[in-house]
Each structure stands twice: as structure tokens, then as C-alpha cells.
Amino acid sequence: MCLAIPARIVELLAGDQCRVELGGVRKEISLALVDGAAVGDYVIVHVGYALTRLDPEEAAQTLALIADAGIDPARALGGEHPALGAAR
């Protein structure tokens, strides 16, 4: 199962790369699909790409819905789903 997860940009890297963080999990992703993203912005992350920016309130609501579904968003960002184990 692949999920699109909100995460906060904590560092801009070379090229179109950045590092995002969610619940202590950090991951390097591509910003190639999102213009004007900056440190502190929340983005939707799916398969290593930021798909769009969203405001902090929207991010919090989305993360709450994911948690209500029984999924740990930080583990999902790291490529795991509690019911499935490590990403395949």
C-alpha cells in the first residue's frame, strides 16, 4: 500500500532535493513537481516526490485522519505500513 503523507521541509538540498521530517523520521525527497517550496512548508510526499504544498492546518487534519485509520504516519513516510511491515 502506498500513501501520500504530509511532511515538513526541514532542509533544502542541491538541485531539486530536500529533506522532510515527520515524527522524527527524516527522508530525502524531490521537489521537482513543486515550485517555490521553502523550509518550514508542508508538502504531500508520495514515492519520493513532493506533490503539492499545503498549509499547516491542512497537514494536521490529514495526519489526524491517517492516524484515525490506524496508520502511523511517520512509519508510512519511512516506507512501512503497520499491517504490511517494510515496504516491498
The per-residue pLDDT for range 32-88, each reduced to its tens digit, is 999 999 999 999 999 999 999 999 999 999 999 988 998 888 887 876 544 444 443
Helix and strand numbers (H, E) in the chain are 2, 7
d(CA 10, CA 71) in angstroms, rounded, equals: 23
pTM of the entire structure?
0.83
Say how many C-beta atoms besides its own lie within 10 A of residue 61's C-beta: 13
CATH code for residues 5-82? 2.30.30.140
According to the model, what pLDDT value does residue 1 have? Answer: 52
Give residue 5's identity as a one-letter amino acid code: I
Contact call for residues 68 and 40 (beta carbons, < 8 A): no
The domains of the chain are located at 5-82
